[in-house]
Every structure is written in C-alpha cells, then in structure tokens.
C-alpha cells in the first residue's frame, strides 16, 4: 500500500488516481443517477444527437447512451476486477511454488506457461471464450485463463531470489513448513511487484473485456457493456458519431487512468 501511495504523489500518478477514482465513482453511483433506463427501447427518440435531455444522444433503438455508459461502468470494472483477482491468485501461488520448490513442479510450470506464451494473448482468449460460449462470465474466465501465466512468471523469478535470503533460510532451519514460508515470507515480499503489474493490467483487462464484447463473445444484449456498445455503433459511425464515441471515451479514460497509476507505482518500487 505504501508503494501505491508513493506512486500517487507523482504528477502522472495524481492524474491516474483522479481518473481511476472517477471511473470507480461512476461504477458505484452511476446506475443510481442514470436519468433513463439502460434497456428501455423508444423508437421515437432513436439516433438523437447529444442534447440537454440526452447528454450523449441515443442509439439505434432510442436508448439513452449516457445512462448505458453509466450502467456499463459497473459491468466493465467488475469484469476487470474478477479477471485480475483470479489471475493474480492462481498465478502468484503457482509461481511461488515453482520458484521455491523447484524440481518437477518448476519444470511443469515453465512448460505450461510456455504453451500460453506461444499464442497471441487476445487470440487465445477469443478461442477460449468461443469454446465456452458467448457470455459475460465466460469472457471473464477466458481472460483469467490466459492472464495468470504472466503473474506466475513474475512471482517465480522473485521467489528464486527470495528463497536464499537469510530469513527464509532461518525459517527453514526452524522447521517451518513450505506453505508457511510461501505465505509468510515469499509472497508478502512479492506484493509490491504484483501490485504494480496488477494496477497496469487492470486497465488492460477493461480493454480486453471490451474487445471480447465488441466481437460478441462477452456480455450479451441488452447488457450495456462498453465494447458491445461500440460494436452496435460502428454501423452508424459516419452519420451518428456519438453512438460509438462515448463508450469508447469511457474505455480510454479508464485504461489511461490505470496505466498512469501503474507506471507511477512501478517507478516507486524499491530497487
């Protein structure tokens, strides 16, 4: 947490934390302050440009885009949280076991991660999501499956250097179990590096979720998922720019905020 606080003090970190807090605020209060229903169809108001009554205009079936963007913030951020939590949990534990225990466990871990890294990240996620079927939870699961190896590699490298430190050697000499050493000495000392990577990855998780939604493998209509909203608006981009522009701006703001904050945290990690 100290690393996060230090990172937030830099210029880029301040901008990042402001954008992140803004996105989180939208996710928390957005559905309660949205002026219209995010699913109600009204053909009488379809494809209306931004006005005081519809701040972001309306889409092809008359739904208020501002209300849909507000509702979509919760959906997009929730999906990113689930992806990162699952990836960090699985990857950190697997990497710590492989790096500390070595031997067969480490060899198996490295070969498995090599298989995942052999394919482009998003292409592999698309393949897994397509196999599971188009659904919000399936998209989250697909991204988690292809994301955990990066954390496993990171934590494995840290565990290899930490396993020979004096306090780990002392714990082992005193008869501490492997699980105790992993969870009391190895993983806590990887926290800063994991936090820095997870902060940056959070924005990319939002972008990846939107990418799957854009091609129809994420949340299904009428869910106001940002990627799916952009996909709906691409047909009208030349004549009705607002349909796809405002969901896109929401993604840009969120990804930019977490990227700036992640970079600031990375710069303040102890060397």
Question: In this structure, what DSSP letter does residue 58 have?
Answer: B
Instruction: Specify whether the backbone of 34 is left (phi greater than 0), alpha (psi in -120 to 50) or beta.
Output: beta
pLDDT, position 271: 53
Six-digit token pair at 62?
């008359």
Taking only the tens place, the pLDDT of each residue in 82-110 is 999 999 999 999 999 998 888 888 898 88
Rounded to whole angstroms, the Cα distance separating 23 from 86 reads 21
Rounded to whole angstroms, the Cα distance separating 132 from 70 reads 28
For residue 2, name the pLDDT band (cuts at 50, 70, 90): low
Place of tokens 């053909």: 43
Question: In this structure, what DSSP letter does residue 228 have?
Answer: H
Phi/psi of residue 43, nearest 5 degrees: -65, -15
**103-117 helix and 65-101 helix, angle to the nearest 10 degrees:** 150
Task: Enumerate residues 6+ apart whose C-beta is below 8 A from 55.
Answer: 66
**103-117 helix and 136-162 helix, angle to the nearest 10 degrees:** 130
Can you tell me the mean pLDDT for 179-184? 87
pLDDT, position 252: 94
CATH number, domain at 239? 1.10.3720.10
Q: Which domain holds residue 192?
A: 2-267
Rounded to whole angstroms, the Cα distance separating 168 from 164 reads 7
Q: What angle do CA 107, 110, 115 make, to 5 degrees?
A: 125
**226-233 helix and 191-214 helix, angle to the nearest 10 degrees:** 30
pLDDT, position 205: 94
Can you tell me the mean pLDDT for 66-88? 94
SS3 at position 50 = coil
**Predicted confidence (pLDDT) at residue 8 exceeds the cutoff of 70:** no
For residue 4, name the pLDDT band (cuts at 50, 70, 90): low
Domain count across the chain: 1
pLDDT, position 66: 95
Within the chain, where are the H helices?
2-7, 11-33, 65-101, 103-117, 121-132, 136-162, 166-173, 178-181, 191-214, 226-233, 242-267
């Amino acid at each position: 947490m100290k690393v996060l606080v230090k990172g937030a003090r830099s210029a880029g970190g301040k901008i990042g934390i402001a954008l992140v807090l803004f996105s989180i605020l939208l996710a928390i209060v957005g559905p309660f302050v949205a002026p219209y229903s995010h699913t109600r169809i009204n053909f009488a108001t379809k494809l209306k440009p931004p006005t005081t009554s519809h701040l972001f205009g309306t889409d092809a079936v008359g739904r208020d885009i501002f209300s849909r963007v507000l509702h979509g913030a919760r959906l997009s951020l929730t999906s990113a949280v689930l992806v990162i939590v699952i990836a960090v949990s699985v990857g950190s534990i697997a990497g710590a076991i492989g790096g500390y225990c070595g031997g067969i466990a480490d060899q198996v871990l490295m070969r498995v991660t090599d298989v995942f890294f052999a394919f482009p990240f998003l292409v592999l996620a698309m393949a897994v999501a397509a196999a599971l079927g188009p659904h919000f939870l399936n998209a989250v699961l697909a991204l988690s499956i292809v994301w955990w190896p990066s954390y496993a590699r990171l934590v494995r490298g840290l565990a290899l250097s930490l396993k020979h430190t004096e306090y780990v050697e002392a714990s082992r000499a005193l008869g501490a179990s492997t699980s105790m050493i992993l969870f009391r000495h190895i993983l806590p000392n990887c926290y800063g590096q994991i936090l820095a990577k997870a902060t940056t990855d959070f924005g990319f998780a939002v972008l990846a979720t939107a990418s799957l939604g854009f091609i129809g493998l994420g949340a299904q209509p009428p869910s106001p998922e940002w990627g799916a909203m952009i996909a709906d608006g691409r047909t009208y981009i030349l004549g009705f720019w607002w349909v796809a522009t405002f969901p896109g701006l929401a993604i840009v703001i969120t990804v930019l905020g977490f990227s700036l904050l992640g970079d600031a945290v990375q710069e303040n990690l102890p060397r």
